[in-house]
Amino acid sequence: MTGTDHERESRFSELFEQLVTAMTSGRSDVVPEIERLLIEISLLLRLSKGVTRVYRNPQEEEKGGGETLSCFDMGEECVEVMRIRVVTSVMNSAEMTVYMSPDAEPLTEWEKARAELVMRTVLSYISRNRLRDIVEELAFYDDDGFRNLRSLQVYIYRRMGTGKLDGMAVLHYNLRHFSLVNKEIGKKYADEVIKNHYLGVDEIVNAKGRVFRLGGDNFVAFCAHEDLDRLLAYLTETQTHFGTNNESVRIGCSVGVFKVPDGFTFNDQGDIMERIISCSHVAQSGGQERIVFYNDSIVIRREKSMRVQQLFPEAIRNEEFRVFYQPKVNIETGELCGAEALCRWFRKNKVIPPGDFIPMLEETNDICRLDFYMLEHVCRDIKRWIEEGRDPVRVSVNLSRKHMMNTDLLGTITGIIDRCGIDHRYIEIELTETTTDVEFNDLKRVVSGLQQVDISTSVDDFGIGYSSLNLISAIPWNVLKVDRSFLPIRDDPQYRMRSVMFRHVIGMAQELGLECIAEGVETQEHLNILRENCCNIAQGFLFDRPLPVDEFEKRLDSRSYTVPE
């Protein structure tokens, strides 16, 4: 071996040792050093370019796919001189190809041997890093590319202790009625919507926070206090796009929020998760609040909810829930013209008020089971009245908004009524308004379907939520029920505005052929307002409270009320 050969061998050994040290350091900042060393080695071995390709499976290799990585490139014209392929335990195969100038002399055996050693070392390094990446991907991301529950657990674990979440807010949120989005646009596009929505959240929180998917359409996000308002505005409602035509759907969320106080100490994940999930359950309960912030009363409410939900199956079996009927009265004639079915829970000789169990059942689908229980008991009462020779009135039965997720809702309602053997015209279904496009379309479908089988429908609590002209003009309701809070009262500073709104809403509804009922009528002033605005049907304590069935039957027999002048 000549002196020059010894010098080249010594230099190669020095560079190769540095390359192996860099590759085995485990540090992420050594990549530039590795690239520099590969360039020096390639110059020593008269190589001008090196390229690796990684294949995840045999099909990818067969089709010429795979991921291509450049190891070094001198930017010269070159020809292939060597290629090495290896099979790894992680991916099906990987290969490296090196090139040299087309005008250069062929590689010597010494150069070939050193080039092969470097190529196998590079492939080993790439394979090991890819293994690490794949393990991390499998462990901390789900099949759809979302950070998963395990990733969340590690994130929280690293922040456990005092003050580790100072300046942060933690949120649990779910996409409201996302099953309807699935049904409306199909699973393929729904998956795209949920991914794009997630990316929108990630963009907002990414500077200081992170977002994780617990499963389905349930997520947890950490964000800095200064990003919270922007994030909540996004979660309240946003247009999320999908498809090649850039279509969009409005997505709203139910959100539980815990603003972590400075110096807060937590010792396990439950300290955080219990707070945000409790708030989120309240936000999902069917009330008007879709964003709920944590406070101590939330824990008390959560414990109460769990108790109600625990007792509910037994209460249904024992028929502890009873139907009370509140009459509806024509204020012009005094005639009893209808009734609303209201639920009362009798347990151990005590009456549990609706406010102490309805919101808790709204947190789960138990409310749907109770609604159908009420409908069936109303139908049984009407059937018995007919058999006893009474002339029934139309009875309205409330259905929770959660029923909108039931694709067979119409069939279930008609099945209950038909099984009891009564005419559809005796039943009116009360449904509350909705906000999103998908929910609105489904509400319209349900109301239209009920109309086709002669079941009346009413929009409940009109005026207290997000009511719009579109709600009563685009959906074929039979009845508009105006909430008491919408009634103009003379000592109210907003009396004039409310009077104008009330008059025009009643007038428009009547022009559309809707029957108008005012709820919560309790005073002579309320009655006068109804008369002034030609709203002829009233429901409220001025005429009757909700009555047990035997007392209501007495009203049904008399059929009339004395209406105050």
Residues of the chain with pLDDT under 70: 1-3, 28, 88-92, 130-138, 286-288, 433-439, 461, 463-470
Query: What pLDDT does 453 receive?
Result: 94
Q: What is the architecture of the domain spanning 149-294?
A: 2-Layer Sandwich (3.30)
Contacts of 40 (CB under 8 A, 6+ apart): 15
d(CA 546, CA 513): 28
CB atoms within 10 A of CB 513: 9
Q: From CA 477, how far away is CA 448, in angstroms rounded?
A: 8
pLDDT digits (tens, 9 = 90+) for 76-116: 788 999 999 887 655 567 889 999 999 899 999 999 999 99
> What pLDDT is stored for residue 287 in this prediction?
57
Q: Where are the domains of the chain?
A: 3-140, 149-294, 304-558
Positive or negative, the CA dihedral 409, 412, 415, 419 is negative
CATH of 304-558 among 3.40.109.10, 3.40.50.1970, 3.20.20.450, 3.40.50.980? 3.20.20.450
* Predicted local distance difference test score (pLDDT) of residue 129: 74
CA gap 473, 459 in Å, rounded: 12
Q: What are the start-end ranges of the E strands in 233-382?
A: 238-242, 247-251, 253-259, 265-266, 291-293, 321-330, 336-347, 350-352
Cβ-in-10-Å burial (0-12, 13-18, 19+) of 527 comes to buried
Angstrom distance (rounded) from CA 369 to CA 235: 29
Cα(368)–Cα(177) distance, rounded to whole angstroms?
A: 15
CB-based contacts of 67, cutoff 8 Å, min separation 6: 53, 54
Token representation of residue 337: 């013209």
- Which pLDDT score, from 0 to 100, does residue 325 have? 97
Looking only at Cα atoms, what is the longest distance across the chain?
124
| Residues in a beta bridge with 345 | 321, 352
Q: What is the pLDDT of residue 235?
A: 93
- CATH 3.30.450 holds for 3-140: yes
pLDDT of residue 89: 54
